[in-house]
Structure 1
């Protein structure tokens, strides 16, 4: 039995001590989610520990505290990550995107329509994070080719993937958690396509907004052009000539690179000798008079290097993308630091990108739009930061496989050529057959959704689409631990009676309001919290309260559960509300206010549209 305390009063009600304890845990969890003083997944694990340690007050036993790890929602999410990765590795999504985008080249309106129209159907079934990761480089390259700022297309890409999450039960992890809560509270989980009728309305209204109002509200933060132009690094790049009297003539290239970096903080990138190029850091050759060095650094530092080493600056020798991005020597890579990256909080220097990947970071576009080109090594990395770096082709492949980064650049013409080479492979056919098989088994209730998804994982590995190691690597374990940690928080809220107390208060506060207005209120509250404490956590907090409030008010609890579920997908107003928002934050050069300006009207519009659609379709 949960110990009680003297009355504390909530609209005249007495508060048990257990409610106060759980309320304190919820408040602490929200603060940690918002401030990210520790990673969200670690916060979720801490919630388990605290709830079980305070079992006499929270009512959460050890078995219940750990139940999130065996939750069907958690298992399904793990499996869907694997299935999505199997689809991603077939390159079919990339090929489809190339073909559609090719027809839209040269027109901002057609590009915007293609981005939204293509992202939606795919992200409705496949996890939207890899879909956005695949499309970001293609959309950026097409925008630059059409002379359109990538900022005009990247937020719509993220928003479209989020809207598509409302189309099916598989659309997001949030849907799966909400379905399990609905099953526990109402004995009615969501069907695979139960969200689809209203989801289609939500997607179409959101798409119409992005193609009209949203288009005019979006800023052009990043100018179209080459990567060196978009990151404005050309003033920090120069070509210098080794003169006959320079002390560098006769010195080893590697030694020059090390001395310049140590003494001046200057990077010597490569050496041009006649028609020959070679990377200075990898060469044991001696420099000669008439060699031309490509250097990167602050303009004043470059001038000091020129004077100290008796060099001659070549003012007309502009350093372009083509000279830095040459498959025979090196390549330019753009990447984004995800919020869950182990490198978040590290500086560029302490991350040891140079040592690990033979990479020189040319510039950092901070999450928020600030460009850093001087003192790059001391820049502390944050989730959403975008980096432009120069490395080797082999190192770029390692970067693409590293979960600490999302590589977001690839030459469009090369992608198109690879995507068009050959037809659909056997592997692709098997991968899609497995995915559709999982959807079919779950939709027809042949197998529970979690078991059907696990069967799909087994089929992916047995058929050779993925190796066991690739399957394990495909899972976003941060999300899995977050899910497992917030599930017992919902149990504590119900066991202590906190849900019932809040529901009583809301029923009293909203007395006299029509049910559809109360439904819209829950939509707005859930959406607001989803922007700061993650969609999954907002569903765990608000869905039980919504269901209890509806039951006491004589409304349909299932409709209220659906409203909370849809609302959790509308974390449009902040870059941290949803992973895909953060993925486009740096590459788009966005500011926090851009998400508010474009996302807030959309969130309010969908509050009205979704509430009305639920009331009409399911009733209240």
Structure 2
């Protein structure tokens, strides 16, 4: 190993440790590593900045705004209310009705707003039906993940991998190409959740008095708030940070890692993803509902709905975006309009601008609806992937992997790439996992002299399959706080699902994309 390989190895190891211990936001951690590579001469200024102008990264940013426009329309709330049984139901019966719908929606919209909208609705419905909410909230998160792997736009990871593929000189994925395998995996995953959620998830209900509906005194409402990265009180206690002075609401309890903190919880230092139960007035949700200070606010009816015309327009725009991107990449359309690339990037740009013009989201506050840390993470992921290739680190790891499994053929190597990517995504983040695995997968394919496409697809599947821990995916963290889950609950139901996705991916991918 030369100096550059050792240097990259040390930096990547430090990055993984920092992500696991969550000392800084993922975007800042990855950006710090990129700067270390830049200082060592492994990356040029152009390579450092390329990720920030990547089409995939910009598409993710605009999809945040499209998701906000659909969220504001209120259509999703009406849909989930219509799907939930209004008479007595079983856990399996309710899940079989809602999970396919949730997965379908998540194939086209960002996972986080889908969970933020649906989680409090499903939790309150479960209480009314006298069913444990814990039987439904992890399946909600998992269904959004399973739906996300079915399309190019279903998760930012797919767009990141697609951007890396195009940067490497290969043709990217079409919008539904990943669905050839993703739909089968999603169906298998949903069947598993329907059959085993009742058995494997806890029976406990949320018994805390302060989580029950608020009293009718005055206009005080009970609000459930999940703290975001921008919450100014992170790192401070509630005695140090005067929540009432800042937000006009009173904190009734603090929940962390699925459990209500007891004792002197006012002296516990707050951190991102903590859940607060608040007594607030009617202005709290309208004031802070669009803010990135909170990941989720569970009072859903405080925000005025769009008019009927805007609702219809929002759904029409979403359909035009999806259908247009699909039809626009057909050879006959590309030949008819050679000067115009009618891909997903084109249609998401047009959709975003129309939504802004028509006020489907607040165009004066549009920056609040974008997760900038996710975008910085994605942009830096491209640079880190490039550094792994430039230094020879990716080739070194690829040779080592091939030396271990060469006799077993490309199927075994496909399995190894899945396992490596999946371990990374459970410990750090999905986009960082894809960044680390992509150059290794490309080098493995080059060494074998086979098509790299099956390896690219397996990265998409493995990087999204974050089921065994709550820390690998933001939607898991959200439902952990509001569903009262322990870490072991994710392991118990998530590990078998990881194995299902692994087996199906390794078996099915070569059937659709030849080596």
TM-score where L is the length of structure 2:
0.92
Distance 2:142 2:359 in 1: 34
Secondary structure at the residue paired with 1:344? Answer: coil
- State how 1:224-235 maps to structure 2 within 5 Å: 230-233=207-210
1:331 to 207, 218, 221: 221
2:462 to 558, 567, 573: 567
Per-residue deviation, 1:340? 6.2
Q: Is the 8 A contact 2:426 2:469 kept in 1?
A: yes
Cα distance per residue 1:232-256 (max 9 Å; x no partner)? 45xxxxxxxxxxxxxxxxxxxxxxx
Query: Which residue matches 1:21?
Result: 7
1:376 aligns with 2:265: yes
Query: Which residue matches 1:361?
Result: 251
Distance 1:111 1:400 in 2: 29
Query: Which residue matches 1:42?
Result: 28
- State how 1:293-442 maps to structure 2 within 5 Å: 321=212, 324-326=214-216, 328-338=218-228, 341-367=231-257, 369-410=258-299, 425-442=308-325
Q: Is the 8 A contact 1:563 1:614 kept in 2?
A: yes
1:555 aligns with 2:438: no
Cα distance change on mapping 1:19 and 1:341 into 2, 3 Å: farther
Per-residue deviation, 1:435? 2.3
Secondary structure at the residue paired with 2:222? Answer: strand
Cα distance per residue 1:485-534 (max 9 Å; x no partner)? 22111111111121111111111110211422221221121111101110
Secondary structure at the residue paired with 2:234? Answer: coil
Stretches of structure 2 lacking an aligned partner (at least 5 in a row): 330-340
Secondary structure at the residue paired with 2:168? Answer: helix
Distance 2:240 2:74 in 1: 34
- State how 1:246-285 maps to structure 2 within 5 Å: none
Q: Is the 8 A contact 2:135 2:197 kept in 1?
A: no
Q: Is the 8 A contact 1:166 1:569 kept in 2?
A: yes
TM-score where L is the length of structure 1:
0.77
Bigger radius of gyration, 1 or 2? 1
Query: Which residue matches 1:475?
Result: 370
Secondary structure at the residue paired with 2:475? Answer: helix
Secondary structure at the residue paired with 1:334? Answer: strand
Distance 2:298 2:98 in 1: 17
Cα distance change on mapping 1:385 and 1:189 into 2, 3 Å: same
Q: Is the 8 A contact 1:338 1:583 kept in 2?
A: no
Per-residue deviation, 1:373? 4.6
Distance 2:345 2:16 in 1: 29
1:527 to 415, 418, 422: 422
1:462 aligns with 2:357: yes
Distance 1:589 1:205 in 2: 26
Secondary structure at the residue paired with 2:483? Answer: coil
Q: Is the 8 A contact 1:79 1:457 kept in 2?
A: yes
Distance 1:518 1:26 in 2: 22
Per-residue deviation, 1:183? 1.7
Count residues with an aligned counterpart. Answer: 503
RCO comparison, higher one (Cα < 8 Å, 6+): 2
Cα distance per residue 1:108-129 (max 9 Å; x no partner)? 2222223312211100001111
Cα distance change on mapping 1:186 and 1:342 into 2, 3 Å: farther
Query: Which residue matches 2:16?
Result: 30
Distance 1:93 1:341 in 2: 27
Secondary structure at the residue paired with 2:407? Answer: coil
Per-residue deviation, 1:21? 1.5
Q: Is the 8 A contact 1:107 1:146 kept in 2?
A: no
1:162 aligns with 2:145: yes
Per-residue deviation, 1:222? 3.1
Query: Which residue matches 2:504?
Result: 609
Cα distance change on mapping 1:321 and 1:84 into 2, 3 Å: closer
Secondary structure at the residue paired with 1:336? Answer: strand
Q: Is the 8 A contact 2:254 2:261 kept in 1?
A: yes
Distance 1:45 1:509 in 2: 33
Query: Which residue matches 2:475?
Result: 580
Structure in which a larger fraction of residues adopt helix: 2
Q: Is the 8 A contact 2:134 2:204 kept in 1?
A: yes
RMSD (Å), alpha carbons: 2.2
Q: Is the 8 A contact 1:339 1:582 kept in 2?
A: no
Stretches of structure 1 lacking an aligned partner (at least 5 in a row): 1-14, 224-229, 234-319
Cα distance change on mapping 1:162 and 1:327 into 2, 3 Å: farther
Q: Is the 8 A contact 2:150 2:179 kept in 1?
A: yes
